Amino acid sequence: MNSLKKTARLAGLFWVLSAATTFFNLQIVRLKIIVPGNAAATANNILANESLFRTGIASNLFSQAFLLFFGLEIYRLFKGVNKTWASVFLTSILMTVALTVANTLNYVAPLVVLSKADYLNVFQQEQLHAMMMIFFRLNGYGQLFLEIFWGLFLFALGLLIIKSRSVPRVLGILLIIQSVGFPLNTFTQLLIPHFYPAVMTQLTLLFGAVGAPTMFWLLIKGVKEQPTGL
């Protein structure tokens, strides 16, 4: 197996690991813990499932470590195709990792708020619960901002795949289609929050699934040949 194929498969592995750990935090832990509009129930869920909640935080951090290595491997793989777009891709990955790690503090904050430390005795229980929900809301907005960079690195990767001809072009096209969904979701929620339709969330999830074949292609098939600049 040539070194480029190994690099591609390693990139695919890191991408799958990042996606799996992100899914665990967002779609398993978050949905189990957070009860929208019900601060008391959310607080009770955290206290009753603290180990799971902390595991979700750790999973989120692991996902960013995997994403960082994915970015480095992809940059190595495609920098010869177009260094400018490869740099755009890697920079977007680095921004995603940095912002996500910072945004994870909004998951840690509810644990601090619910810790029953002496200095929190000046607050009523309802006030503590309200503060906790503020941090979750901030985390949600942080996630929205991250989607801008998700869209950017997916677009750059799709373009690199199309230019390289070492991976089926249709996969690059799917990634570009996927890249549209995230910023569309972000700006819709920011600009028309009172009219944000539930269908936008479903569309974003659909767009997110469109790029999955590329992830598994890299993991299983790798690349055909040495990418060359065009």
What is the distance of C-alpha 102 from the center of its chain? 13
Average pLDDT rounded to a whole number, residues 138-143:
91
Q: Is the pLDDT of residue 228 over 70?
A: no
Domain limits for position 69: 3-216
Residue 227 domain flag = no
Confidence check: pLDDT of 123 > 50: yes
Is the pTM value of this prediction over 0.85?
yes
Could you tell me the pLDDT band of residue 226, with boundaries at 50, 70 and 90? Answer: low
According to DSSP, residue 192 is labeled -
Tell whether 229 is covered by a domain.
no
- Distance, C-alpha 63 to centroid of its chain: 8
pLDDT at residue 182 above 90?
no
> pLDDT-derived band of residue 204, with 50, 70 and 90 as boundaries?
low
- Residue 199: the pLDDT is 61
**CA nearest 176: which of 146, 143, 150?**
150
Distance of alpha carbon 27 from alpha carbon 143, whole angstroms: 14
With respect to residue 150, please indicate whether it lies within any of the assigned structural domains. Answer: yes
Query: How many Å separate Cα 192 from the centre of its chain?
Result: 23
Q: Has residue 166 been placed in a domain? A: yes
Query: With pLDDT > 90 as the criterion, what percentage of the chain qualifies?
Result: 66
Residue that the structure tokens 């840690």 belong to: 108
* Pair 25, 60: CB distance under 8 Å: yes
Give the rounded percent of residues in the chain with a pLDDT score beyond 70: 90
Structure confidence by residue, pLDDT tens digits, 62-111: 999 999 999 999 999 999 999 999 999 999 999 999 999 999 999 999 99
Give the pLDDT of residue 2. Answer: 73
DSSP 49: T
The pLDDT mean for the chain works out to 89
For the chain, what is the domain count?
Answer: 1
Residue 130 lies in a domain: yes
Tokens 């799971």 found at: 52
pLDDT one-digit tens code per residue, 6-57: 999 999 999 999 999 999 998 899 989 999 889 999 999 999 999 999 999 9
Residue 89 located in a structural domain: yes
Question: What letter would DSSP give residue 25?
Answer: I
Q: How far is CA 33 from CA 40, 110, 112, 152, 201, in A?
A: 11, 12, 16, 30, 19
Number of CB atoms found within 10 A of residue 20's CB: 13
Closest of 26, 87, 31, 32 to residue 59, by C-alpha: 26
N-to-C CA span, the chain: 25
Question: Among 86-90, 139-143, 150-154, which range has the highest average pLDDT?
Answer: 86-90
